[in-house]
Chains A and B, each alone.
Chain A
Amino acid sequence: MSADVAATVAISTARYDVHKVRADFPALHQSVHGVPLVYLDNGATTQKPRAVIEAGTRFYERDCANVHRGVHALSERATRAYNDARTSVQRFINAASSREIVFVRGTTEAINLVAQSYGRPRLREGDEILITELEHHANIVPWQLVARETGAVIKVVPITDEGELRFDEYLRLLGPRTRLVAVSQVSNALGTVNPIRSMIDAAHDQGVPILIDGAQAIPHRQVDVQALGCDFYAFSGHKVYGPTGIGVLYGKEALLDAMPPYQGGGEMIRRVTFQGSQWAPLPLKFEAGTPNVAGAIGLHAAIDYVRAIGLDRIAEHEHGLLEKATSALSDFPGLRIVGTAREKASLVSFVMEGVHPHDIGTILDHQGVAVRTGHHCAMPVMEHFKVPATTRASFGLYNTEEEIDVLVAALHKVREVFHR
């Protein structure tokens, strides 16, 4: 355990000291347009703690070598670090085996892998893939591609005007032709926490496997894939304070074992002849080519970092921020919160009467406040609420209540500009 992590462990028994946490994130301590940065775009990506940045630097300064190849010292160190990263992910999500942890570029690649390697060989014309109206495009388009190739059909569970899934509709749509369910644990556009435990159970009652898109859930709550019982779970490193370009596909070993490779190349084979090749055992079968070693090592550092603070404490801190932001924005004149589910992750999506989200985004940026504006890669959600786009403030473990005050003051400035 590095000194940084040890220092953070020390605070885990004390009260949540957000300022101490912030001190670990170099990027937070800067000014933009001459004012201090208030970073509220954590749903898009999170800033990185020094421990993650240094883990990547250490790899490149000392241990840089390809993995599973050379017999030299650097290659051994790199290989060990890469394997350790896989074990850390396994423990983080409580997978039964490290063979069930496949390193990918991110959630998008993980879902594409399942669509192509699990879906394509199995799906027949008229088979159904069940997704929801809340999904990010990354959990829609891969299924459309495989449906086009196989003649399978996509069915969509609708949402209520609060942004919650219609569970009755889910049960109704889960039919004899359903071959796979794919659903997000947390909606990126609205923050809705879906009842995935009940959804997994209902799918399994019908003998249907289920994939969980955990991209927006993983930084906010403890995930235990064995307790959940899901068949696949996908997430990205960069949304949980790790590097970009590294992500994880968890799959039950029996399912992954039965799937053909996603890509061919080095690393994923046992033996190659021109007559044919034999695949490497799991998980390397799915990791063709030189992997993102530095990314995996950075993800390991990120996992150590959030575990040292404790996801329960992070969730509690973020819930406080969500409550404060929800209450402040509910009272704001002419502002409407989009997505008011009973259970939400710490983000608030909203629209303001007479002001387009992109204008809000530019004016907030001028006051140092970074938010996401647009359709959040969830155009069907925007369609449901009849808005072209929203402004989204999404909070992370280092955000403070004072930053929400800055957001609200900045929104008053928006009103001032547009109603002068």
Chain B
Amino acid sequence: MSDLRDLYEEVILDHNRTPRNYPKNPPGANCHAHGFNPLCGDEFQVHLKVQGGLVEDVGFEGAGCAISTASASLMTQAVKGKRVEEAEAIFQAVHDVLTDESGRTEAAGELLGKLSVLVGVKDYPMRVKCATLAWHTMHAALKDERGTVTTE
């Protein structure tokens, strides 16, 4: 039996209680995307200000469960101040470690750092979509993709 505390780590609960960069749409934000998981009802807007290939600022709005909210909050901290390629690499690492599709989990682990608290979600397959929603939304915003992102 996996321990509930592996899922609801203190860091997750803290970011759920007081999400960082939330609710926030930074002045000058030029990349936006909408993420929505209709079965859950989790819904976020992600806003990024990208200048010269650098994510200068980031924020999110919306509401969801503890896992999706904490993951969104951690995402904003992880990509703020990073170059777009770095932000994309972190997105890929989080995606890989949660879905384990590529077998690159170990390599991804090194990139994660503080984000490794999200790894506990892997033992809860029904909740992986919660943890990845904000990340896919951020990815879509950087790619300037239109339409609503979903991970269901």
Partner of B41, one of A34, A362, A388: A388
Contacts A358-B65, A389-B41 given; does A417 touch B8 at CB 8 Å: yes
Partner of B39, one of A356, A374, A382: A374
Measured in the bound complex, the distance between the Cα atoms of B63 and A382 in whole Å is: 15
Contact yes or no, B13 A418, CB < 8 A: yes
Measured in the bound complex, the distance between the Cα atoms of B78 and A26 in whole Å is: 49
Partner of A366, one of B4, B43, B64: B4
Interface residues of A in 196-212 (CB under 8 A from B): none
> How far is the CB of B51 from the nearest CB of chain A, in Å?
35
Contacts A417-B4, A418-B13 given; does A359 touch B41 at CB 8 Å: no
Does A33 lie at the interface of the complex (its beta carbon under 8 Å from any beta carbon of B)?
yes
Interface residues of B in 22-44 (CB under 8 A from A): 39-43
> How far is the CB of A376 from the nearest CB of chain B, in Å?
11
The tally of residues in A whose CB lies under 8 Å from a CB in B reads 18
Which residues of B are found within 8 Å of A34, using beta-carbon distances?
A: 1
Does A220 lie at the interface of the complex (its beta carbon under 8 Å from any beta carbon of B)?
no
User: Per-residue 0/1 for B95-134: is the Cβ within 8 Å of any A Cβ (1 yes, 0 no)?
Assistant: 0000000000000000000000000000010110010000
> Which of B1, B7, B41, B63 is the most central at the interface, judged by chain A CB atoms within 10 Å of its CB?
B41
Does A355 lie at the interface of the complex (its beta carbon under 8 Å from any beta carbon of B)?
yes
Does B66 lie at the interface of the complex (its beta carbon under 8 Å from any beta carbon of A)?
yes
Measured in the bound complex, the distance between the Cα atoms of B67 and A34 in whole Å is: 24
Partner of A356, one of B1, B7, B64, B126: B64
> How far is the CB of A224 from the nearest CB of chain B, in Å?
36
Contact yes or no, A358 B4, CB < 8 A: no
Which residues of A are found within 8 Å of B40, using beta-carbon distances?
A: 358, 374, 388-389
Interface residues of B in 42-74 (CB under 8 A from A): 42-43, 63-67, 69
Which residues of A are found within 8 Å of B127, using beta-carbon distances?
A: 358, 362
Which residues of B are found within 8 Å of A420, using beta-carbon distances?
A: 13
Contact yes or no, A388 B4, CB < 8 A: no
Measured in the bound complex, the distance between the Cα atoms of B99 and A302 in whole Å is: 41
Contact yes or no, A359 B67, CB < 8 A: yes
Which residues of B are found within 8 Å of A389, using beta-carbon distances?
A: 40-41
Contact yes or no, A363 B4, CB < 8 A: yes
Which residues of A are found within 8 Å of B63, using beta-carbon distances?
A: 388
Contact yes or no, A359 B65, CB < 8 A: yes
Interface residues of A in 378-418 (CB under 8 A from B): 382, 388-389, 417-418
Does A375 lie at the interface of the complex (its beta carbon under 8 Å from any beta carbon of B)?
yes
Which residues of A are found within 8 Å of B41, using beta-carbon distances?
A: 374-375, 382, 388-389
> Which of B65, B67, B126, B127 is the most central at the interface, judged by chain A CB atoms within 10 Å of its CB?
B65
Given A388-B41, A420-B13, output 13 extra A-B contacts at Cβ < 8 Å. Answer: A33-B1, A356-B65, A356-B66, A358-B40, A358-B42, A358-B67, A363-B4, A366-B4, A374-B41, A388-B42, A388-B43, A417-B13, A418-B66
| B residues whose Cβ falls under 8 Å from a Cβ of A | 1, 4, 7-8, 13, 39-43, 63-67, 69, 124, 126-127, 130
| A residues whose Cβ falls under 8 Å from a Cβ of B | 33-34, 355-359, 362-363, 366, 374-375, 382, 388-389, 417-418, 420
- 28 A-B contacts, Cβ less than 8 Å apart? A33-B1, A34-B1, A356-B64, A356-B69, A357-B65, A358-B40, A358-B42, A358-B65, A358-B67, A359-B65, A359-B66, A359-B67, A362-B124, A363-B8, A366-B1, A366-B4, A374-B39, A374-B41, A375-B39, A388-B40, A388-B41, A388-B42, A388-B43, A388-B63, A389-B41, A417-B4, A417-B8, A418-B66
- Which 10 A-B residue pairings sit nearest by Cβ, starting from the closest? A388-B41, A356-B65, A358-B65, A34-B1, A359-B66, A389-B41, A33-B1, A417-B8, A359-B65, A366-B4
